[in-house]
Amino acid sequence: MSRQSNRATDSKKMNSELFTLTYGALVTQLCKDYENDEEVNKQLDKMGYNIGVRLIEDFLARSSIGRCQDFRETADVIAKVAFKMYLGITPSVTNWSPAGDEFSLILENNPLVDFVELPDNHSALIYSNLLCGVLRGALEMVQMAVDVKFAQDTLRGDSVTEIRMKFIKRIEENLPAGDDQHIYIASVGLNAS
Amino acid sequence: DTVVCLPGMADETLFEFLHMEIVSHVYKEQQSSRGTMDNKVCSVVNHVSFYIFRLTRDSPSFKDELDIMKFICKDFWTKVFRRQVDNLRTNHQGTYVLQDNKFALLTQLSSGKQYLDQAPKYLAFSCGVVRGALSNLGLESVVTAEVSVMPSCKFQVVIQKL
């Protein structure tokens, strides 16, 4: 498939600038609403979670990925299919723990931070923390409890952005603990037609 | 169904969910009286206006107000909302009605009358975006939106004479 231009050949794609700027506006607004960076980080994670629990259904319907056999396969699907589909980037999967329950996603470039600089008084802000919530929420809906956090961030001077994902446990198939005020319907199996 | 996403492109579904979360958050904040919805939306839109400026900066020079509105309905609407406005009407005295029968930011909400009372919240952002674009093109306006059956909606633009 040739790639002569950046125009959307797929009607589900949009110019990422609008997305990036809207996200930036959201973070800015949260910084005004809450006194400290920790609280903003928590809100971004919570909002990301709310997005993730819905996004997984869209992902499963559009990617026709079946059930992953193990956490390694999950990692590959996240990096090569999900990130590519939603953000147009393919992070690399590295730094596996010996037990195979923890790995890193290395993002060479993070579209969320285009045009962004962190001012000095926000050193504790995890600007892209929404992504952690999205991953956590999405995986919870396919019965995986995971811990997701940023290990490195180009916005804070690191050379790459690194997201560390750790498998905690398998969740039994009943309604997971949801966010307050949030009602949703749990996925029924992975073989969406 | 393609899963290819070119560099520089993001997926619309992700944007729509982000937009819904923003609306939900702003309304929760409003209920705990941390500020009005209008203020919050303005703040969001101010940041988005940089993007709008870039979008409109390279546009051709326009011969009149109607020309600008046609640009909004075609080029601008396509870039931001991924399709053209279906119907434009005007009284030729500064009031325009833009009808979009499949408005991008409503399609995830419902098709029909369910959640109709929630729709205005979801249109506030878009009204601000349109107003910002017009402002960058030299027209001050008041933009409102109404919905009777989702995902179809009508934007009313009233150009302010200075």
pLDDT tens figures, B10-55 = 787 888 888 888 877 776 655 555 445 555 555 566 556 656 666 6
Asked if residue B3 is part of any domain, the answer here is no
Range in B62-71, B79-88, B99-108 the model is least confident about: B99-108
For B85, the domain range is 9-159
- In this prediction, residues B87-116 reach a mean pLDDT of 85
**Look-up: residue for tokens 């929630």?**
B118
For B24, nearest residue in chain A (alpha carbons): A47
Q: How far is A98 from chain B (nearest CA, A)?
A: 32
Q: How many domains, in total, are found in chain A?
A: 1
Asked if residue B1 is part of any domain, the answer here is no
ipTM > 0.85 (yes/no): no
Asked if residue B69 is part of any domain, the answer here is yes
Buried b (16+ CB within 10 A) or exposed e, A16-44: bbbbbbbbbbbbbbbbebbeebeebbbbb
CATH at B121: 3.30.1380.20
In Å, how far are A84, A132, A183, B47 from A77, measured between CA atoms? 10, 16, 27, 33
Distance CA B85, CA B76 (A): 10
For A30, the domain range is 16-170
- The pLDDT value recorded for residue A135 is 98
Contact B10, A16 (CB under 8 A): yes
Asked if residue A2 is part of any domain, the answer here is no
pTM for the predicted model, two decimal places? 0.72
The residue type at B18 = L
| Nearest residue, CB atoms, A84 vs list B5, B24, B35 | B5
- The pLDDT value recorded for residue B88 is 96
| Nearest residue, CB atoms, B43 vs list A23, A29, A43 | A29
Q: Is B122 helix (H, G, I), strand (E, B) or coil?
A: helix
Range in A51-65, A86-100, A173-187, B58-72 the model is least confident about: A173-187
A vs B, Cβ pairs < 8 A, gives 126
Contact A107, A162 (CB under 8 A): yes
Q: What is the pLDDT of residues A41-98, one digit of tens each?
A: 999 999 999 999 999 999 999 998 888 889 999 999 999 999 999 998 999 999 999 9
- The pLDDT value recorded for residue A187 is 39
Distance CA A39, CA A31 (A): 9
CB atoms within 10 A of CB A96: 14
Report cis status (omega within 30 of 0) of the bond before B151: yes
Structure tokens given for B98: 């833009």
| Nearest residue, CB atoms, B15 vs list A8, A11, A18 | A18
CATH at A30: 3.30.1380.20
Q: Please state, rounded to an integer, the average pLDDT across all residues of chain B.
A: 78
Q: How far is B101 from chain A (nearest CA, A)?
A: 16
Residues of B in contact with A28 (CB under 8 A): 43, 47
For A45, nearest residue in chain B (alpha carbons): B21
